[in-house]
Amino acid sequence: MITIPKWTDGPVPRTTTARRRPPSRALPRAVALTVALLALVGVAALSLGEPTLGPVRALGALLDAGDPAHVVVADVRLPRALLGAGCGAALAVSGLLLQDSLRNPVAGPELLGVSAGAAVVMTAVVVLGLQVPLALAPYAALLGALVAGAMVLLAIGATRDPEHVLLVGAAVSAAGAGLVVALVGLGTEGDVVLLFRYLLGSLAARGWPHLEAVAPWIGLGLLAAALLRSRVATLALGDEVATGLGVPVVRTRVLALVVAALLAAASAAVCGPVAYVALLAPHVARRLVGTGTRRTFWVAPLVGAALLVAADLVCRLVLYPVEVPVGVATTLVGVPALLLALAGRRGR
């Protein structure tokens, strides 16, 4: 006589997904919230600085070419804010793809060496005076990003222990940072501006040409990520489940990694490896709408964009007239937040 234990006998294991998923109205609400936040930060980025304009005046100057403040708003602040938003969105989606496809909460381009690899190549291009046109810079950055990322992924292999990933990524990133410092020190007798652009990331002195160079890459990457998002969501359930659902696991993971590297490289090509935005934005998005790549995909880029534009604004103003590299601000905010995220995960 075979007795089949009744499924409801014991306490039903409540998965974290089930517990943390808010009602379905959360998604539109979160999107509206983040869009409003981004708009607010964007207007602030257009109006604050030297000269400080009122928000109405700033928006007016943007449209009215005869206004004396038009140049400042339309040619300096607007491209910079748009670039910040674009790179923030790209980094956030890059982090989201890495975290969900590797099922690792601390995966991010800065901790997988991807950002460092891109930075090394870009530094070499600038310092050694290689003649690479601005439009081709993302290709070069992508090459470095893929090499460094592949190295870290090869070393960590199948393990999902976040500590392991962090340690290998940190070692490769440290090596990348060392190479950047060495290149800058060798070529230019310590050009601080250059060092910070490629070591920490900075949005200083970026204009329309930079935006034009990188926009197609970010657009392409976001589009690819949008196409991949439901497959990556299946991957987050586990390899067996994903295989059972007919998703080719290895191919999807490699695709997701390449797209993530592309997005991170595009951003690193123009503003350097801005740390911790990619790591943080997906976590914030999950807080807002719960886990699941399909849902977080719509929120994470908005969060990342708002985060980077806000951080850039703070860096522009806090030590005026000196600009702090934006990577400093994102690191100082991102590290405690990451610690919280890890502590919360371990506590569960």
Partner 1 sequence: MSALREPTTDGAEREGRRRPGRPGGRSGGGGARRPGGLGAPAGVLAVASAVALAVAALVTAHLLVGRSEVPAREVLRALTGGSGEPAYDLIVLRFRLPRVLVGLGAGALLALSGVLVQSVVRNPLAEPATTGIGAGAALAVVVSLVLVPGHGATYAVALGGALLAGLLLWLLGRRSLAVTGILLGAVLSALTSMVLVVDSQPMGTVLRWLVGSLNARTSGDWAALWPWLLVLPLLGWLLAPVMNVLALGDVATTTLGLRPALARGAVLAVAVAAAAAAIAAAGAVAFVGLVAPHVARLLVGSDHRLLVPVATALGALLLSTSDLLAFAVSLDLPLGGRSVAGVPVGAVTALLGAPLLVRLVRQERR
Query: Site map for partner 1, 129-168, x if CB under 8 A?
Result: ----------------------x--xxxx----xxx-xxx
Within a 10 A sphere around the Cβ of 11, how many other Cβ atoms? Answer: 6
H-state helical runs in 7-113: 16-20, 26-47, 55-63, 70, 78-102
Q: Of the two residues 127 and 218, which places its CB atom closer to partner 1 in the complex?
A: 127
Nearer to partner 1 by Cβ, of 281 and 311: the residue is: 311
Q: How far is the CB of 40 from partner 1 (least distance, A)?
A: 26
Q: How far is the CB of 331 from partner 1 (least distance, A)?
A: 4
Which among 277, 286, 257 has a CA at the least distance from the CA of 345? 286
Task: Determine the Cα–Cα distance for residues 223 and 294; give it in Å rounded to an integer.
Answer: 14
Q: How far apart are CA 164 and CA 202, in angstroms?
A: 29
**CB under 8 A: which stretch of 19-27, 94-102, 188-196, 281-289 binds partner 1?**
188-196
Query: For residues 41 and 127, which CB has a smaller minimum distance to partner 1 in the complex?
Result: 127
Written as one letter, the residue type at 2 is I
Distances (CA, A) of 63 to 59, 67, 75: 7, 9, 12
Report in angstroms how near the CB of residue 275 gets to partner 1 at its nearest. 7
How is 205-223 classified by DSSP, letter by letter?
Answer: T--HHHHHHHHHHHHHHHH
Of the residues 332, 340, 344, 345, which one makes contact with partner 1 according to CB under 8 A: 332
Binding to partner 1 by CB under 8 A, coded x per residue (else -) over 292-331, reads ---------------------------x--xxxx-xx--x
Q: How many residues does the chain have?
A: 348
Site for partner 1 in 80-119 (CB under 8 A): none
The answer to whether 205 contacts partner 1 (rule: CB under 8 A) is no
Q: Which residues between 257 and 296 bind partner 1 (CB under 8 A)?
A: 275
Tokens 């999807």 locate to 252
Decide: helix, strand or coil at residue 53. coil
Interface with partner 1 (CB under 8 A), residue total 49
Residue 241, sorted as left (phi over 0), alpha (psi -120 to 50) or beta, turns out to be alpha
Question: What is the H or E stretch that residue 342 is in?
Answer: helix 326-347
Q: Is the backbone of residue 274 left (phi > 0), alpha (psi -120 to 50) or beta?
A: beta
Q: Quick check: 190 binds partner 1 (CB under 8 A)?
A: yes
Beta carbon of residue 171, minimum distance to partner 1 (angstroms, whole number) = 6
Minimum separation from the CB atom of position 328 to partner 1 (A):
5
Q: Is 68 in the site for partner 1 (CB under 8 A)?
A: no
Cβ atoms 73, 48 nearer than 8 A: no
Site of tokens 């910040």: 84
**Measured from the CB atom, is 71 or 332 closer to partner 1?**
332
Specify the residue, 58 or 151, whose C-beta has the smaller distance to partner 1. 151
Judged by the rule CB under 8 A, the positions of this chain that interact with partner 1 are: 151, 154-157, 162-164, 166-168, 170-172, 174-179, 181-183, 185-187, 189-190, 192, 195-196, 199-200, 275, 319, 322-325, 327-328, 331-332, 335, 338-339, 342-343, 346
